[in-house]
Amino acid sequence: MTNPYLSPKELAQAIGVSESSLKRWADDGKLSVSRTAGGHRRIALQEAVRFVRAGGHPLRDAGVLGLAVPVAPDGEDDLGEQLFDALRECDTVQGRALVLGAFLRGRSCASLCDGPIRTAMERISALWRQGPEGIAIEHLATSMCLNLVGQLRILLPDAASGSPVCLGGCLEGDGHALPSAMIATALTECGWRALDLGGSTSQAVLTAAIARHPPVLVWRSITVISDAAATARELRALANELGRIPLVVTGRALDDLPLGDQVNIHPVASMAELASFARGVACTARRRMR
């Protein structure tokens, strides 16, 4: 992704319309553009992607956008199965085509995380039972998915000035960084400034980050736990420290945690549920700032 700005001609070529149509849409306010010192229109990559997705424009040539990815064909009923095959074979080109292609056709990041990425990675995760070869496949697939989720996040608009801050990471000892990266991407898509501390983040590190970047929402991603009761106590202690700040808890091990009914702990079962909750929190935060 080496092309941060496009000309109207380049974007027109990407979606198969005339350059004059692009300029007219820009003049009508449907597409945000900046101007060079010489007065030429330029379109930020994130804005171009937003325009393509919002307008449902078929992308004829993703390479023009600097994405260097073929757009996978329509028909996404078996997208999870296709992604599993790509991950198992470490086929980065096909994986990128499947995920970014679906995103450019309008799928939300939350939908992709809950759907094909989750489906494919659940199947990949079972391969560790096959021994070293299966573990190697899982490690490579995880790395590939982290890269794909990161590319999705790059294509999202930057958080606007004054956007609410959220931060979080995995529990200490839990090195599964992918779920936390998916959380950050889903929240970025909702307009948040999301700060992801990644895998195995201790309570002390999280507390330091909270002091440095005061958040409106904090998350904990929980894939594996060794002591459910101790983990629940740790989360309740964190919630007490946060006070009115909501603590979102999500992950594969969520059902194993005896969290009780502490008012500011919010278990969520999916990225879609998280996105819906985060939008509500953001609306409340904006009202308080008025």
pLDDT tens-digit map of 24-39 = 888 888 888 888 888 8
Of 3.20.20.10, 3.40.50.970, 3.20.20.70, 3.40.50.280, which CATH number belongs to 165-289? Answer: 3.40.50.280
Grade residue 1 by pLDDT with cuts at 50, 70 and 90. very low
Please choose, from the candidates 203, 164, 199, 201, the residue with its C-alpha nearest in 3D space to the C-alpha of residue 284: 164
Considering the entire predicted model, what is its pTM?
0.87
> Average model confidence (pLDDT) for the chain?
88
Average pLDDT of the segment spanning 75-98: 88
Average pLDDT of the segment spanning 50-67: 77
Q: Give 224's contacts (C-beta < 8 A, 6+ positions apart).
A: 173, 174, 176, 252, 253
Structurally, at CATH architecture level, domain 79-155 sits in: Orthogonal Bundle (1.10)
Domain at 5-65: CATH code: 1.10.1660.10
CA distance readout (Å), 48 to 30, 31, 57: 11, 8, 11
Give the range among 66-70, 109-113, 207-211 with minimum mean pLDDT.
66-70
Asked if pLDDT for residue 191 goes beyond 60, the answer is yes
Amino acid at 272: A
